[in-house]
Amino acid sequence: MGYKTYLVMYFGTKGFGASEIASRLEKIGFQTQFGPFDFVFEWKKEPSKTEVLSLGDKIAETLKDSGAVFNLDTHD
């Protein structure tokens, strides 16, 4: 089992719809899933703090003006 970053999305009523947000996240490497987390990103190796924060920055840029808020949880 490798390291994964789990993503929980909180959707707003203004901005992108849920399907648009999912599409954008899938384009940057996330997989949609069901359960306590909405999306998962699987790392090929143990990520550094900088890599996890860079992924967070990439998500923020991808979802800019979407009205969505997110939470990251990275562990093995």
SS3 call for 42? strand
Q: Over range 18-41, report the average pLDDT.
A: 96
Q: Over range 11-19, report the average pLDDT.
A: 90
Report pLDDT for 13: 87
Q: Over range 40-61, report the average pLDDT.
A: 97
Residue 47 near residue 3 (C-beta atoms within 8 A): yes
Q: Over range 39-53, report the average pLDDT.
A: 97
Report pLDDT for 5: 98
Report pLDDT for 16: 92
φ and ψ at residue 39, rounded to 5 degrees: -140, 155
Residue 35, Cβ neighbours under 10 Å: how many?
Answer: 7
